[in-house]
Chains A and B, each alone.
Chain A
Amino acid sequence: MSGTTDRLAWEDRISLRLRALYEQYGYGRYRMGKFEPYDMYLANRKFLKSETVITFTDPGGRLMALKPDVTMSIVKNTPDDAVSRKLYYAENVFRMAHGSMEYREISQIGIESIGCGDIYSEAEVLLLALKTLELISEEYLLCVGNMGFADAVFRSCGLAGDEYETAAEYIRQKNTGALAALADRLALDAERRRLLLTVASVSAPLTDAIRTFADLPLPEEAADRLSELRELGEILRTWGYADRVRVDFSIINDMDYYNGIVFRGFIPGAPRAVLSGGRYDNLMRRFGKRQNAVGFALYSGELSRKFTEEPEYDVDVLIVYGDAAPAAVHKAVVSAMSEGKTVRAEKHHDPDVRAAKTVVLGEAEVAGK
């Protein structure tokens, strides 16, 4: 296919479609400045995915940081008396990539829904996450967990301090072997042991997951969180997304940041989650905000490698004009363009330029290589 819209990079096309989607649902664009004083990140560095940010000194001698995160900036920007805010963003942030000692520029597209955090607003954010994935790939899965659920199970098993952190790490790794050893060390009874292992291993559609926990000794708090998940799942089912949602607690995240529901989006062939989000009332409180909030970000940069097809040609038509007069060259260019083609005019033939068709002015047309 040729034509200008198809020639837009995959990332640009997706970005345009997603922005249209979010605007349809009434989300307004949030533009973020590229840098701000470092103090904020210093005070909240544990909330950042990587603790290092790029800093520099401004002419006034203040230490500034290139922004590593959009959500924090939106939280800070939220007026205390705002009833509700629905925002989307498409920004580049600067972070250290996992496992490397290098900074990366990472493009993030995401939404934040700030307000009372009722069930509809949560369901709407999940729906937009699903629609986001749907725009990217035919096949996709949204894994949903709940921080409060895991927390309640951990506490009912008597986990605290380092052991709590260790157990959370084992859940993230689905490391049932190590969890079983931990359960033995804690002398948990058989039912609680099975509960802890099930939290790690479960990865199933909502109804199956709920059945899995049915005969396990769920603490009240966990049972409440599970029925919230059931309620959300029911809404998503009526919207036609039951097959795309899976309950999986291995996606539990930083407890100081997220509280209720957390989720991650996967598409086949992308090695990590491409979308990540959840409810982050805890972060709001940390900044002294009373509103609740839920949102997600899509890491589109990681995807462009998967979706960018190596084009067969650099350009549809290559015009080699030699000594032809400028007016004649331009006429040939405009003529090819009027057929919806992309055109590149070169004085000499350049074998590195791959064209579907090469036109040599003043001579008969020759076929492209």
Chain B
Amino acid sequence: MIRVALPKGRLGNDVYDRFAAIGYSCPELKGNSRKLVFEDAEKGISYILVKPSDVAVYVERGAADIGVIGRDTLLEYSPDVYELCDLGLGRCSIAVAAKNGWKDNTALPLRVATKYPNVAKRYYAAQSREIDIINLHGSIELAPIVGLSDVIVDIVETGTTLKENDLSVVTRIEESSARLIANKSSYMFKKDSIDAIVSGMGAFAE
């Protein structure tokens, strides 16, 4: 039995479609069920749907053998897991963004609002720029508009939200997309099944 942790939401649905296409379907999952665990004993697969940022926790601690997670989250939490392939889904950038026309005042520490404090700290430490981290959990774009921060470090897909709020990208820090990760111990004991899934997923790569 391979236990898969999928992120709830659109990415999770897209990834599930790929799993189904390579023979690991579990139709119940697509229904309007409130269930959290979906299992197909015959195909030897079970899925759990969890908050995207929690996928790494389930996999690292072995409650799931494999999982799908954005590289942005891997960079933030650095879980001790195998990163087996890039699914090419959910592409986005982690970027620094600010109000249009913003200029950095190097006389003061830079106030950075983000839900990626580790990524932001690493990036600015490499630039030797002193920062003041403001941890937020949502609507990061609001911070520079209301003067809570100078810049934000957040994921940017199309940039529409930024544009609508009079913000723009200053620098792109990292590129992100969905990755298939595996628990290190599970991989040792379920190598053949996990490798089969990885090569099945590889067939979708452009």
Residues of A participating in the B interface, judged by any CB pair closer than 8 Å: 98-99, 139, 141, 143, 173-178, 203, 246, 248, 250, 266-273
Contact = CB atoms under 8 A, between A and B. Distances in A.
Count class of interface residues, chain B: 20 to 34
Interface string B56-91: 000011100000000000000111111111100000
A270 B86 contact: no
Given A141-B189, A174-B83, A273-B185, 13 more contacts: A99-B60, A99-B79, A139-B189, A141-B188, A174-B84, A174-B187, A175-B84, A266-B184, A268-B189, A269-B62, A269-B185, A271-B185, A271-B186
A203 B81 CA distance: 15
B93 interface: no
A250 B189 CA distance: 15
Interface in B80-119: 80-86
Contacts of A250: 82, 184
Contact of B191 (A203, A271, A273): A203
| Chain A binding surface, main DSSP class | loop
Contacts, number: 57
A301 to B, nearest CB: 15
Nearest to B60: A271
B184 A272 contact: yes
Contact of B81 (A173, A177, A267, A270): A173
Interface of B: 60-62, 77-86, 183-189, 191
A262 to B, nearest CB: 14
A246 B85 contact: no
B82 A174 contact: yes
Given A271-B60, A272-B80, A203 B188 contact: yes
A127 B85 CA distance: 34
A91 B46 CA distance: 39
A272 B83 contact: no
A203 B62 CA distance: 19
11 contacts: A99-B78, A99-B79, A174-B84, A174-B187, A175-B84, A177-B83, A250-B184, A268-B185, A271-B184, A272-B62, A273-B184
A271 B79 contact: no
B88 to A, nearest CB: 10
Contacts of A266: 184-185, 188-189
B185 A272 contact: yes
B77 A99 contact: yes
A275 to B, nearest CB: 12
B62 A177 contact: no
Given A174-B82, A174-B83, A177-B85, A246 B62 contact: no
A250 to B, nearest CB: 7
Contacts of A272: 62, 80, 184-185
A178 B80 contact: no
Contacts of A269: 62, 185
B65 to A, nearest CB: 10
Nearest to B80: A98
A-B CB proximity, top 4 nearest? A271-B62, A174-B82, A175-B83, A173-B83
Contacts of B79: 99
A268 B60 CA distance: 14
Contacts of B189: 139, 141, 266, 268
A129 to B, nearest CB: 15
B187 A203 contact: yes
Given A270-B62, A271-B60, A271-B62, A178 B188 contact: no
Contacts of A141: 188-189
A203 B78 CA distance: 22
B80 A143 contact: no
A174 B184 CA distance: 10
A367 B185 CA distance: 45
B85 A271 contact: no
Q: Considering residues B62, B82, B85, B185, which has the most beta carbons from chain A within 10 angstroms of its beta carbon?
A: B185
A143 B186 CA distance: 13
Nearest to A177: B86
Contact of A173 (B62, B82, B186, B191): B82
A246 B187 CA distance: 12
Nearest to A203: B191
A175, A176, A246, most chain B CB atoms within 10 A = A175
